[in-house]
Chains A and B, each alone.
Chain A
Amino acid sequence: MLDLFRKYRIPLLAACLVLAALLLYSVHLRRQERTTLFERGVLQLTAPLQKGIDRVCEAVADTWSRYLWLVATEEQNVSLRQENSELRGRLAAMEEIRLANERLRRLLEFREETDLPALPARIIAVDASSWFRTVVIDKGGEDGVREGMPVVVAEGVVGRVIRLAPRQARALLITDASSAAASLVQRNRIRGISRGQGDFLALEFALRQKDIEVGDAVVTSGTGGVFPKGLMIGRVSEVNRGEYGLFQQVTVAPAVDFSRLEEVLVLLGENP
């Protein structure tokens, strides 16, 4: 028996490790709504580094776009280039300020419109994997953020907070495949579930005989326990009724452009 164990020591050990890991994974799955101490610690430790790298990246990108691309022009006319560079630099800076101002103004207007208290936050990192859609924001438990709170922008729903650290949090975007939001078609109040599909959403459980058209707005229904009622999710981009089946296939283009997301609002009020 001992010889057998010695002979197959490595495969047995490997199998034990994989089994132990599977066990831990399945235990975590039951408690996935809670942030573990390990996750909180790592997020807290990493956020300053992520913020730092993000700022350096922005500074480098800024310098590159404002100055370095004008090197070729310098050979033609040095004095003109200097003047041009300076003016372009100022223009770029002003344009950046104007755009930030516009985004923040829209957020502010939205914040005033909504009844719930909202906390502005900045996105400092995105998901480490290609397969999932999450972002890290620079506000956390100390700022009043809690797990499950909705994250929005003026254009519509962004997602919900799934992991929490004292000064940062991770939010699951509505386009992630594991994200689902109770929704309804704004025009005729047809109910369904908007489930993430990566870059778009699918409105599930919409009965086949119901009238849904391309261009219809899809909003949150307020019944899912996470998002308040009436937040914009997106617009119907494709409807496929087919000949059989109980439900129709409805594709929804998200209202939010997730590739350009920089600032968001966390709705701090109680869940509906």
Chain B
Amino acid sequence: MTRIAVYFLIGYFFILVQTVLLPHLLPFQIKADLLLILVIYLGLNEHYLGGALLCYALGSLFDVFAGSQPGLFGIALMTTFLVVRTVVGRLNTESSVLLLLMVFCGTLFEGVLIVFLLGTFADTGPMGFMVLGGLLPQALLNLAVAFVLLRCLVRLQRRFFPRSLIPGLQHLGSRHGS
């Protein structure tokens, strides 16, 4: 329960960063999707039910600060989590590149899912073309940010909490943290 609360608070913090801090740091429209990176990390480590509900809650929170359609990111993030969770069960999670690959593919998947949901349920005009047009730069930006986050996290953990464990980052850090 504590772990879930911590993840939720991290997600909330990421949303704050995306709405207030990133626009100051990055002068262009596309901004890194930190919450998606967190959801994909959860997909590598969390159980189906708890993780899916947590991702839905985080997505619903994200909906308050993004777009005009409540529930959109709730479904998108939960489905992304479920897909990542299912795929991860069939892959070698010892690979440090896995998280980065998942972030790249997860961004593309979430984008396509958003286009599908908007096209099927809502009248949002040319939104589909806009999202598809910006998907590749968004995926590359998320990939770069995930790489930096991973390096920083593992280094911080080794320096300040050498005896504690961050779930899932030990084997991932074996290549990125040194």
Contacts and interface: CB of A to CB of B under 8 A. Distances in A.
Contact of A130 (B21, B30, B63, B71): B30
B146 interface: no
Interface in B17-55: 18-21, 23-24, 27, 29-31, 33, 35, 48-49, 52-53
21 contacts: A13-B49, A14-B52, A21-B79, A25-B117, A26-B121, A32-B70, A38-B64, A42-B61, A49-B16, A50-B19, A50-B20, A53-B21, A127-B19, A127-B65, A129-B62, A132-B68, A178-B122, A178-B125, A178-B127, A197-B130, A199-B29
Interface string A174-215: 001110100000000000000111110010000000000000
Contacts of A131: 66-67, 114, 127, 130-131, 134
Contact of B66 (A14, A24, A61, A134): A134
B79 A18 contact: yes
Contacts of B121: 22, 25-26, 29
B106 interface: no
B16 A21 contact: no
A28 interface: yes
Contacts of A259: 27
A46 B16 CA distance: 8
Interface residues of B, number: 52
Contact of A163 (B31, B48, B64): B64
Contacts of B66: 127-129, 131-132, 134
A39 B134 CA distance: 27
A195 B125 CA distance: 8
Interface of A: 10, 13-14, 17-18, 21-22, 24-26, 28-29, 32, 36, 38-39, 42-43, 46, 49-50, 53-54, 57, 61, 124-132, 134, 136, 162-163, 170, 172, 176-178, 180, 195-199, 202, 259
Nearest to B141: A130
B116 to A, nearest CB: 11
Contacts of B131: 131
